[in-house]
């Protein structure tokens, strides 16, 4: 972030106005910045930052000489001007992420982006030392390039401590005053988003959630809208922001009805000029938001049956992110006690069925220091194996994988994940252990590079081609032999589970 007259593309230009305005400027003032480059004009909301300071932020999407003019019904905030020059992006800075190729994502410069997500709901509300440990864990594992994180603190099992900062001022009854933000809390939150950006980690910002002892769930419609508009004005300029309207929105429908959730999306549409990805997350699988609505960019879902990933693609026609597939850990709740092997298996299944997966970790700790709740230290075995999968996908794939069920002439077993991109085919066998694989392999002969990938042991070894076996057919319980091979060749496999066969035709 800079107030200098020269900044790099996708960095942040900030213009500050100091004005002594009576009353409560959070409630009573509104101002906008109009940024112009040649004949382009982009209108961006400004915000109040306390102590008589007003700010407007902008992230230029193109190099050149930009100008700013402010607009407001408040005289002190109207008609201010500034200018700056945007240069080429800094090395490694690719801009905001957007949907590309219908089911996938790319940065603004066209570089593909494949989300590998983890959840640390209230990490920015923990002691600073623990927040530093979170950064270190993310840097050391290199497994995750997206982090789900709440604006508001949480009140929930394993997360009962007081937050580092109250997001709004606290009234005598212990509840937040929705008319008085704690500006220090917002500054801290956005600073942590900025640090994630420098690590090339997207910040999936969860705006509302039901786990609340501060009564932020109970705000009026007007108070909700004001909070949302304020948040967008403050952080939309950060290139790594994603909008998650809620964690488990359906648990709040009694106080925030469906039409309010629709309006939340529309407010972001109206005030975020960068069109960051936006979605919403449910608790009950039967109460999914209608992700087909035009303002939803991608599907954010909570479901343990990852075999349904192609069905969600077909149902919604958008990228599918299964943000909660249960968590690696050993707590009492069943959603938080799957094994590391199961977590890794669900990642492979989801990714190779054309979707994207979310990690979380919930190991019992004497001080309730659980990664899923507070960040800090990762203790599980899945992150390094998720990093292994991420490296493979980022090296192999350029446009995005398509599950073979969507390709004419191909079919896969529900509990096997198979996908393609051009001459590249993956077949992930999960718990299945055939001695020879032929189903799903190319039908035409040719020169192929074949690898056996062990997702748990993190090894890649050359595969051995063998003659394609003739499939065994069954009819009314009787076994018959005959017919033709269902592929041009077979691949010999060792007997261990969680294997993936990678086949790439050499041209």
Q: Is 79 exposed, middle or buried (0-12, 13-18, 19+ CB in 10 A)?
A: exposed
Pair 246, 252: CB distance under 8 Å = yes
E strand residue ranges, 226-298? 241-246, 278-279
Q: How confident is the prediction for the chain on average, in pLDDT? A: 94
Check if 6-87 and 112-396 are the same fold: no
Which segment of 243-252, 273-282, 357-366, 440-449 scores lowest on mean pLDDT?
440-449
Specify the pairing of strand 278-279 against strand 328-329.
unpaired
Domain residue ranges in the chain: 6-87, 112-396, 423-505
Q: What is the mean pLDDT of residues 159-173?
A: 96
Residue 431 has pLDDT above 50, yes or no: yes
Superfamily holding 112-396 = Glycosidases (3.20.20.80)
Which segment of 84-98, 115-129, 155-169, 467-481 scores lowest on mean pLDDT?
467-481
Which segment of 165-174, 335-344, 443-452 scores lowest on mean pLDDT?
443-452
pLDDT of amino acid 445: 86
Pair 246, 202: CB distance under 8 Å = no
- Say which residue, 4 or 112, is predicted with more confidence: 112
pLDDT of amino acid 442: 87
Residue 3 has pLDDT above 70, yes or no: no
pLDDT of amino acid 476: 53
Backbone dihedral region for residue 92 (phi beyond 0: left; psi -120 to 50: alpha; all else: beta): left
pLDDT of amino acid 381: 98
**How far lies 23's CA from each of 29, 151, 172, 180, in Å?**
10, 26, 21, 12
Q: What is the mean pLDDT of residues 250-275?
A: 97
Q: What is the mean pLDDT of residues 412-441?
A: 89
Q: What angle do CA 214, 220, 221 make, to 5 degrees?
A: 130
CA distance 291 to 297: 8
Residue 366 has pLDDT above 60, yes or no: yes
pLDDT of amino acid 415: 79
Helix (H), strand (E) at residue 207: strand 202-208
pLDDT of amino acid 1: 45
Residue 478 has pLDDT above 60, yes or no: no
Q: What is the mean pLDDT of residues 196-200?
A: 98
Mapped onto helix, strand or coil, the DSSP state of residue 109 is coil
pLDDT of amino acid 55: 98
Domain 6-87: assigned CATH number: 2.60.40.10
Backbone dihedral region for residue 430 (phi beyond 0: left; psi -120 to 50: alpha; all else: beta): left
pLDDT of amino acid 4: 58
Which segment of 3-17, 73-87, 137-151, 478-492 scores lowest on mean pLDDT?
478-492
**How far lies 219's CA from each of 197, 227, 260, in Å?**
31, 10, 12
pLDDT digits (tens, 9 = 90+) for 201-259: 999 999 999 999 999 999 999 999 999 999 999 999 999 999 999 999 999 999 999 99
Starting at the earlier edge strand, list the strands of the sheet with 202-208.
Answer: 278-279, 241-246, 202-208, 146-150, 117-119, 356-359, 320-324, 299-302
pLDDT band at 2 (very low <50, low <70, confident <90, very high): very low
Backbone dihedral region for residue 23 (phi beyond 0: left; psi -120 to 50: alpha; all else: beta): left
pLDDT of amino acid 23: 94
Q: What is the mean pLDDT of residues 160-176?
A: 97
Q: What's the residue count for the chain?
A: 507
pLDDT of amino acid 482: 58
What's the whole-model pTM score? 0.95
């Amino acid at each position: 972030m800079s107030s200098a007259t020269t900044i790099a593309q996708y960095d942040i230009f900030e213009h500050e106005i100091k004005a002594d305005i009576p009353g409560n400027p959070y409630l009573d003032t509104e101002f906008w910045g109009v940024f112009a480059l040649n004949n382009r004009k982009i209108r961006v909301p400004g915000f109040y930052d306390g102590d008589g300071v007003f700010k407007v932020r902008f992230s230029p999407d193109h190099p050149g000489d930009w100008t700013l003019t402010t607009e407001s019904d408040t005289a002190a905030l109207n008609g201010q001007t500034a200018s700056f020059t945007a240069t080429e992006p800094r090395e490694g800075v690719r801009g905001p992420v957007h949907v590309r190729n219908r089911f996938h994502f790319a940065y603004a410069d066209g570089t593909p982006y494949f989300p590998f997500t983890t959840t640390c709901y209230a990490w920015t509300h923990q002691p600073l030392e623990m927040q530093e440990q979170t950064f270190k864990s993310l840097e050391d594992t290199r497994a995750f390039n997206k982090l789900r994180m709440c604006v508001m603190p949480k009140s929930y099992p394993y997360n009962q401590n007081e937050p580092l900062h109250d997001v709004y001022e606290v009234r005598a009854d212990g509840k937040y005053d929705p008319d008085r933000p704690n500006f220090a809390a917002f500054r801290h939150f956005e600073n942590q988003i900025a640090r994630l950006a420098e690590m090339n980690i997207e910040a999936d910002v969860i705006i509302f959630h039901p786990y609340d002892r501060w009564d932020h769930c109970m705000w009026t419609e007007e108070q909700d809208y004001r909070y949302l508009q304020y948040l967008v004005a403050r952080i939309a300029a950060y290139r790594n922001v994603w909008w998650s309207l809620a964690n488990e929105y359906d648990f709040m429908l009694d106080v925030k009805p469906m039409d309010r959730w629709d309006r939340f999306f529309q407010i972001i549409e109206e005030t975020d000029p960068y069109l960051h990805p936006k979605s919403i997350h449910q608790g009950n699988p039967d109460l999914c938001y209608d992700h087909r609505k035009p303002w939803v960019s991608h599907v954010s879902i909570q479901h343990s049956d990852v075999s349904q990933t192609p069905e969600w693609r077909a149902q919604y026609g958008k990228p599918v992110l299964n943000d909660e597939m249960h968590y690696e850990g050993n707590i009492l709740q069943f959603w938080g006690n799957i094994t590391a092997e199961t977590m890794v298996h669900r990642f492979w299944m989801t990714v190779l069925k054309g979707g994207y997966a979310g990690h979380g970790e919930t190991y019992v700790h004497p001080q309730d220091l659980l990664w899923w709740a507070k960040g800090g230290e990762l203790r599980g075995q899945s992150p390094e194996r998720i990093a292994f999968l991420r490296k493979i996908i980022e090296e192999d794939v350029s446009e995005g994988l398509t599950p073979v069920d969507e390709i004419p002439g191909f079919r896969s077993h529900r509990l096997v994940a198979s996908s393609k991109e051009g001459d590249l085919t993956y077949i992930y066998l999960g718990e299945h252990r055939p001695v020879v694989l032929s189903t799903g392999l190319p039908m035409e002969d040719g020169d192929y590079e074949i690898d056996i990938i062990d997702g748990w042991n993190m090894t890649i070894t050359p595969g051995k081609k063998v003659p394609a076996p003739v499939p065994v057919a069954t009819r009314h319980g009787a076994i018959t032999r005959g017919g033709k091979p269902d592929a041009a060749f077979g691949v010999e496999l060792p007997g261990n589970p969680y294997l993936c066969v990678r086949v790439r035709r050499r041209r």
